[in-house]
Structure 1
Amino acid sequence: MSSARSDGDRPDSDRPDLDELRLTLGVPDLDTERLEHALTHRSYAYENGNIAHNERYEFLGDSVLGLVVTDTLFTTHPDLPEGQLAKLRAAVVSAKALAVVARDLELGRFVRLGRGEEITGGRNKASILSDTVEAVLGAIYVEFGIVRSAEVIHAIFDPVMADAARLGAGLDWKTSLQEICANHDLGVPHYVLIGTGPDHDKTFTAVAHVGEREFGGGTGRSKKEAEQMVAEIAWTVLDAELRGAGAPDATTA
């Protein structure tokens, strides 16, 4: 069985055409060297003489995306309070949402990875995909500025923002659980996590404690995913109990 090759092992004919990605993003004139830089994961950089990798672009792109999304949500939802706007923004720019966007763009095909990440499925890892989305947005901002960057972000993320606006409490179950607990003097929820399996393939189990009560059933491939799942379970139970007792609906309390 042949081992997986890093991008450095690929002949030029096997590498995906960056023009395809530029057209998908709506920036056909984005500089090739800059785009390659934004697509370079640190694993590739370390295996190729410590060349520049994309983490600085990622840092910048995170802020650019946050600004455009925040401005859009503020403008399109003039009646929402700060807390709900924060939930919407968190749902749109979360690593999970960015990974979905990256998969829709088929961004994983273009990422430059080292051998280790290639072998362990790095092209489909949510963390790598979400970071690369931010890095590409950072590169677009450096080359074209905020107006062009905002156009790209709107083209990609407006459907994500529209979907998030329809989710209600599920935008961030941990925040929703914390709010229902605060509104009804139930105490501050806390979580206990257990991780099992090897480092590259861990599964996490989460339990939520609310006062003297314990809620289980949270599992996920990351700590955050497991906590969100068990928070949803706890919120759903408490909301039903409180509404049954005549308390205000937890979604609007």
Structure 2
Amino acid sequence: MQKSDKEKKSVRKYNKYQQLQEEIGFHFTNERLLKQAFTHSSYVNEHRRKPYEDNERLEFLGDAVLELTVSQYLYKKYPLMSEGELTKLRAAIVCEPSLVTFAHALQFGRYVLLGKGEELTGGRERPALLADVFEAFVGALYLDQGMEVALQFLKKTVFPKIDEGAFSHVMDYKSQLQELVQRDGAGTIEYKIHLEKGPAHNKEFVSKVFLNGDMKGTGIGRSKKEAEQKAAQQALALLKNSN
């Protein structure tokens, strides 16, 4: 018996999302959630007679899941990093350009359901749309499989980029040094104030940084923090040149 055009179209959509699940290695119990994650509001507006739901609520949820999981990962990975630095690093990871990069790597743009007008104006490649889809997918996966599976997905897609140092440009020198040493499993970093000189109103500090007991850098500054940053900068240059 011949399938109608409507049935054929339905099968193609089903196969498309089956293919996506095979490619990413995560399978949904409720495939309606998966489809919703890729349904743009423009598509819903053009299909008002059908029970479609756009991905905006899932995006809201996914944003919260990302904030929490990335925060937890950074908290454990960088035990010496300050609250301010952790906040800055997290912001770089969950910002729109980064989410777009993750979405592109997974070719999420291919699976978005768009209205005709949005399609014609290049919506499939629009950064804000792709970032929203990535968040919505995380939200859908969390609802369908729970936090542990959502974490497993991020361990495959987001956390490796952190480990590779893709966001180290937003970190200060001490954080960059710590990230480099941890990534290479090179050992333990220690800072020591070697010298304090000058009157109280115009003090100068000399800091040294050690890796496994070996001195790798020296810095001079008007505060201990500044001296340590300069020592870390010197150590970073030394270690990068020796690699």
Q: TM-score range by the shorter chain?
A: 0.5 to 0.7
Aligned residue for 2:158, secondary structure, equals: helix
Aligned residue for 1:40, secondary structure, equals: coil
Q: Which residue of structure 1 lines up, in the alignment, with residue 111 of structure 2?
A: 110
CA separation in 2, counterparts of 1:100 and 1:145?
A: 24
- CA RMSD, 1 decimal: 2.7
CA separation in 2, counterparts of 1:166 and 1:92?
A: 10
CA separation in 2, counterparts of 1:153 and 1:98?
A: 12
Counterpart mapping for 1:1-253 below 5 A: 11-12=9-10, 15=13, 17-49=16-48, 51-162=52-163, 163-169=165-171, 252=229
Aligned residue for 1:17, secondary structure, equals: helix
CA separation in 1, counterparts of 2:134 and 2:87?
A: 21
Relative to 1, partners in 2 of residues 1:113 and 1:82: Cα closer, same or farther, differing over 3 Å? same
Determine what percentage of the aligned residue pairs are the same residue: 35
What is the one-letter code of the residue matched to 1:93?
V
Which deviations, in whole Å up to 9, do the C-alpha atoms of 1:166-219 show, x marking residues without a partner?
Answer: 32459xxxxxxxxxxxxxxxxxxxxxxxxxxxxxxxxxxxxxxxxxxxxxxxxx
CA separation in 2, counterparts of 1:89 and 1:79?
A: 15
Q: Which residue of structure 2 lines up, in the alignment, with residue 5 of structure 1?
A: none
Relative to 1, partners in 2 of residues 1:252 and 1:43: Cα closer, same or farther, differing over 3 Å? farther
CA separation in 2, counterparts of 1:92 and 1:24?
A: 23
Cα pair 2:108 2:130 within 8 Å, conserved: yes
1:131 CA displacement: 0.2
1:154 CA displacement: 1.3
What is the one-letter code of the residue matched to 1:60?
L
CA separation in 2, counterparts of 1:146 and 1:169?
A: 28
The size of the alignment, in residue pairs, is 170
Cα pair 2:37 2:136 within 8 Å, conserved: yes
CA separation in 1, counterparts of 2:45 and 2:229?
A: 50
Cα pair 2:59 2:136 within 8 Å, conserved: yes
Aligned residue for 1:167, secondary structure, equals: helix
Q: Which residue of structure 1 lines up, in the alignment, with residue 205 of structure 2?
A: none
13-22 vs 38-47, which moves further: 13-22
| Pair member with larger Rg | 2
1:23 CA displacement: 2.4
Q: Which runs of 5+ in 2 are unaligned?
A: 1-5, 173-220, 231-243
1:27 CA displacement: 1.2
CA separation in 1, counterparts of 2:128 and 2:161?
A: 18
1:252 CA displacement: 4.0
CA separation in 2, counterparts of 1:18 and 1:105?
A: 13
Which deviations, in whole Å up to 9, do the C-alpha atoms of 1:21-44 show, x marking residues without a partner?
Answer: 112332124422111111100010
Cα pair 1:92 1:160 within 8 Å, conserved: no
13-22 vs 98-107, which moves further: 13-22
Aligned residue for 2:112, secondary structure, equals: coil
What is the one-letter code of the residue matched to 1:167?
H
1:49 CA displacement: 0.1
Q: Which runs of 5+ in 1 are unaligned?
A: 1-7, 171-245
1:71 CA displacement: 0.1
Aligned residue for 1:136, secondary structure, equals: helix
What is the one-letter code of the residue matched to 1:42?
S
1:145 CA displacement: 0.9
What is the one-letter code of the residue matched to 1:18?
Y
